[in-house]
Amino acid sequence: MLGPLGMPELIIIFVVALIVFGPRKLPELGRSLGRGLSEFKRASNDLRNSLEEEIRLEDERDARTRTEKPAASTSEAAGPRPVEGSTPRTEEPSPRNETLDA
pLDDT at 69: 73
pLDDT at 93: 60
CATH 2.70.98.10 fits 8-66, yes or no: no
Name the amino acid, one letter, at 34: G
Distance CA 6, CA 8 (A): 6
pLDDT values of the chain reduced to their tens digit, one per residue, 102 residues: 557 878 889 889 888 988 888 888 888 988 998 999 999 999 999 999 999 999 999 999 998 988 877 655 555 555 566 666 666 566 666 666 555 555
Distance CA 17, CA 25 (A): 10
pLDDT at 22: 87
